[in-house]
Structures are given as C-alpha cells and as structure tokens.
Structure 1
C-alpha cells in the first residue's frame, strides 16, 4: 500500500504556510520550499475565502435589517388599522373585524418569531458553508500541490 492510498486527513484550518508545507510532507514526502510559487495558491485562496466570508456577513446583515424593517412596518400598519377601527362605531360587524385583525396580529407576531428562528438557522448554515469552503480549499490546495 502506498502513501497516496492512505493520506492523513487534512487539518480543519491551515493558518500558516508552514502547516501547509508540513501537511504536504506527510502526504507526499516532498519538501516544498518556502518561496515555491505554488504556495501563492494557498494565500490567494485564503484571501478569496476571506472576501467570500465578508460578503456573506454583509448579505446576512442586510437581510436581517430588511426583515426587521419590513416586520416593524407591518406591525405599525396593523396597529394603525386597529386604532382606526376602534375609533369607529363598534357595531357587530366592526367587532368581528377587530377580532380578525387581532388574530392576524397574533399570526404576524408568530410569523416574525419563526422568521427570527429561521434567520438563526440560516446563520448556522452560513457558518457550515464557510467551514465546508475552508475544508474544500484545504483539499484543493493539497491536490493542486
């Protein structure tokens, strides 16, 4: 069985070129000089991944801000409608409408709560995506060398 048949698993992160060089030695028994141009790929990939993380964080913030703004506008609009209806003469039809609107307000609050939960789950998936991208980067860097 050759060394290529059972390579050691790559580390979760390779924060330095020295760690990358050590891993390459473990897998291929080849010394890669510190000034080897192929090591630039590792640096380039780390920079690209950092930019990708920055963009994901920015999009996540924008999505969260937009969701909060939209939900606040909806809550304000529902409250305004309820206030207007309460000022009208309260006959049976109006009372039924108020009950429906109050139910809609409850449902919108539940929806908002679920949306926040989904946003947390999305954040977790984003983190998992970044971790997967890091693992892929490590594997691709190791394969490229």
Structure 2
C-alpha cells in the first residue's frame, strides 16, 4: 500500500507555511524549502480567501440590515392598515360579540381546568378501588384456603 493511498487528514486550518510544509511531509515524505515558489500559491490563495471572506461578511451585514429595514417598514405598514381596518370595521355590536367570544373562551378554559382536576380525582379513586380489590381478594383467598 502506498503513502498516497491513505493520506492523513489535513488540519482544520493551515495558517502558516510551516503547517503546510509539515502536512506535505506527512503526505508525500518530501521536504519543501521555505523559498519554494509553489508555496507562494498557498499565500496567494490564503489572501484571496481572506478577502473573499471579508467581502462575504460585508454582504451578509448589508443584507441583514436591508432585511431588517424592509421588515420594520412592512410591520409599520401592516400596523397602520390594521388600525384603519379596526377603526372602520369595529362598531359597538362587533365589539360586544368579541367580548362575548372572549368570555366564552375564558369560561372554556376554566371548565377544562375543572375537568382535568376531576379526571385526576377519578384516576386516584380508580387506583384506590384496585388496591381495595386486591386486598379483598387476598383476604378471601386466605379465608377460602
């Protein structure tokens, strides 16, 4: 099996030429001189990638600001439209009906809470009944034997 068949994984970052040279040694068992012109490619690529990352960060920041501004403007516009609609559409009868609906919702919540408490009590009583049944069966089995 050749060294090229299973190269070691590259490090997560290769920030220095020394790290690159060490990796090349691990993979190819070849020493690359510090002044080797091919190492300039590493430096050129690193500079280009750093510049690209800087540009991407700037674009992300600008995009985020644009989305935030557009979202804020849309929310403000929707609030104005809703306010206009409420002022136009909600008369006294509608307000009364909404109040009735809200009251029914509140009472439904209370009813649901009471039903949950009743269900818990029924579960407890059922458990007690099963325990009593077990005791009664135990006593009867002792008396029968």
Task: Return the TM-score normalized by structure 1.
Answer: 0.58
**Displacement of 1:91 after TM fit?**
4.2
Q: How does 1:40-51 map to 2 (within 5 A)?
A: 40-51=40-51
Point out where structure 1 has 5 or more consecutive residues left out of the alignment: 100-145
With over 3 angstroms needed to count, the CA separation of the structure-2 counterparts of 1:89 and 1:8, relative to structure 1, is: closer
With over 3 angstroms needed to count, the CA separation of the structure-2 counterparts of 1:90 and 1:5, relative to structure 1, is: closer
| Paired residue total | 95
Point out where structure 2 has 5 or more consecutive residues left out of the alignment: 99-145
**Displacement of 1:10 after TM fit?**
0.9
Indicate the RMSD between aligned Cα atoms, in angstroms: 2.3
Q: How does 1:15-54 map to 2 (within 5 A)?
A: 15-54=15-54
Taking CA–CA contacts closer than 8 Å with sequence separation of 6 or more, which of the two structures ends up with the larger relative contact order?
A: 1
Q: How does 1:2-17 map to 2 (within 5 A)?
A: 2-17=2-17
Q: How does 1:108-123 map to 2 (within 5 A)?
A: none
Detail structure 1 runs of 4+ shifted over 3 Å in the superposition: 85-92
> Does 2:74 align with 1:74?
yes
With over 3 angstroms needed to count, the CA separation of the structure-2 counterparts of 1:91 and 1:40, relative to structure 1, is: same
What whole-Å deviation, never above 9, does each CA across 1:21-68 have from its counterpart, x for those lacking one? 111111111111101010001001111111111121111111111111
